[in-house]
Structure 1
Amino acid sequence: MSRRNTSRKRLVQPDPIYKSKLVSMLTARILKSGKKSIAQKIIYNSLELIKDRSTSDPLHILEQAVRNTTPLVEVKARRIGGSTYQVPIEVRAYRGTNLALRWITKFAKERSGKNMAIKLAHEIMDAASETGNSIRKREETHRMAEANKAFAHYRY
């Protein structure tokens, strides 16, 4: 890590169709080998599938899925006196959103099936209805933090 300058946080540009920063953040998570147009096609196709299968706005469903998947606390390894403790810390809003998007895309990729747009649409709809693997990951993270609450005084 450079000691000279702290890196500036880059502002996220909204996507061209939905004018949403959340969609462009999701594009960055799906991106492979710098092929942004393919990643955007996958996301737009999955949002079209969500629009066909549900009555409400697909962007609203995506926001609900991210809100449901966002963790409130996580554990961070902290080395104190030769032993490592899992210290529970609160998650800031931006990091929580990033974790939620990362988990949704990870578990969408792991789903069975061929088409990534279909897999992503199913994972988003599952997360919006509070089921699916990304929700299970959030619950697991909360359980880990709850189990290690005794080490909360090592917070920094």
Structure 2
Amino acid sequence: MGRITASRKQMKGDPRHGSLLASKFINCLMLDGKKTVAQKVFYDALEEISKRDGAEGQEPIEVFEQALENIKPYIEVRSKRVGGASYQVPMQVNRARQQSLAIRWILEAVRSKKGRPMHLKLADELMAGYKKEGVAYTKRENTHRMAEANKAFSHFAW
């Protein structure tokens, strides 16, 4: 089971928007404790989103939140050992794990692309997630497809 940490209680909203979700994303984006660098990358990506046409006049923070919402998985497969055999059993995903998987998938997708500044890659992936496309959204779709394919083993989910 997961550990219970005080981080959720202590977390403050990000400086510009006051969003706890943005603050969590910045913390996950941060490497080597360089929070100001992570904030600059995140806010530059939001500025890039506001310059683009695909947002349909929405605030960039709303585009970010909607992209994260679109990428969150609702069901996943977990390995369950029953009678000497391992089965991929589809299970519901709780809200905290949905959020962490979505953030992780976006950052994996962004970090896997090479050759461009981080804020541009992040803006691209967030816009793709908003439009229900891109690498992170594909990962979500594959997870859902895998769960659908293994629905026969759902009776092992106890």
TM-score normalised by the chain length of structure 2:
0.91
Amino acid at match of 1:114: R
User: Partner residue of 1:95?
Assistant: 97
Quote the Cα distance in structure 2 between the aligned partners of 1:129 and 1:113. Answer: 23
Find the partner of 2:4 among 7, 11, 31.
7
Q: What stretches of structure 2 of length at least 5 have no aligned partner?
A: none
Task: Map 1:6-85 to 2 at 5 A.
Answer: 7-11=4-8, 12-54=11-53, 55-85=57-87
The separation in 1 between residues aligned to 2:19 and 2:138, in whole angstroms, is 26
1:152 counterpart = 2:154: yes
Q: Which amino acid aligns with 1:88?
A: P
- How far apart in 2 are the matches of 1:69 and 1:25? 16
Asked if the contact 1:113–1:119 (Cα under 8 Å) also holds between the matched residues in 2, the reply is: no
Shift of 1:9: 4.8
Q: CA RMSD in A?
A: 1.5
Unmatched tracts of structure 1, length 5 or more = none
TM-score, normalising length from structure 1? 0.92
Describe the shift of the 1:53–1:38 C-alpha distance in structure 2 as closer, same or farther (beyond 3 A).
same
Q: What residue in structure 2 maps to residue 106 of structure 1?
A: 108
SS at structure 2 position matched to 1:74 = strand
Corresponding residue SS for 1:17: coil
State the identity as a percent: 41
- Between the two proteins, the alignment pairs up a number of residues equal to 152
